[in-house]
Amino acid sequence: MLTACAPSPEPVAPVQRDPTTERRYGETVAELVAMNREANEFFRKGKSDEAAALIEKGEPLSSRLLSVPQPTLAATEAASDLDQLYGQMLLSNKNYGWVRLLFQKNVARWKHWMPQTPETASRLKQAESAIAECDRRISE
């Protein structure tokens, strides 16, 4: 009878799983890296339509990778590479507003990445240079 008056036990907190440790997350990173590589090759060869198709196909993968609470560096790099390539394509088509938006995403991404490394600092500098190039072309 006395136990019926005791406070109820504390609820057990659900175990937080880290989606970045799941096999599918790593496979998606690898898939996006491969798409980026292939799209970049198409773009360098002047095959913009093929590159654009791969970039479009990579957008949902990028969104999925970045939707987790703390994306991995590899996932963030792959998403950044996709945005960088898409920005370069748009820059070549003089779509400066969209270009600037993509490059600003990369600036924000790398400015706030912790811990900063020489690679992330280099990516930040690349994104800032891309914005400067966009601004230069806008003023022409």
CB atoms within 10 A of CB 16: 7
Closest CA to 62 of 71, 70, 53, 49: 71
18 found inside a domain: no
5 found inside a domain: no
Ranges of residues in the chain whose predicted pLDDT is under 50: none
Length of the chain equals 140
pLDDT of residue 118: 96
pLDDT of residue 140: 85
pLDDT of residue 32: 98
- 100-134 pLDDT tens trace: 999 999 999 999 999 999 999 999 999 999 999 99
- 110-117: Cβ within 8 A, 24+ apart: 110/80, 113/73, 113/76
Q: How far apart are CA 74 and CA 29, in angstroms?
A: 7
Q: How far apart are CA 91 and CA 98, in angstroms?
A: 9
pLDDT of residue 2: 52
pLDDT of residue 3: 55
Domain count, the chain: 1
pLDDT of residue 5: 63
Domain around 60: 23-138
6 found inside a domain: no
pLDDT of residue 97: 87
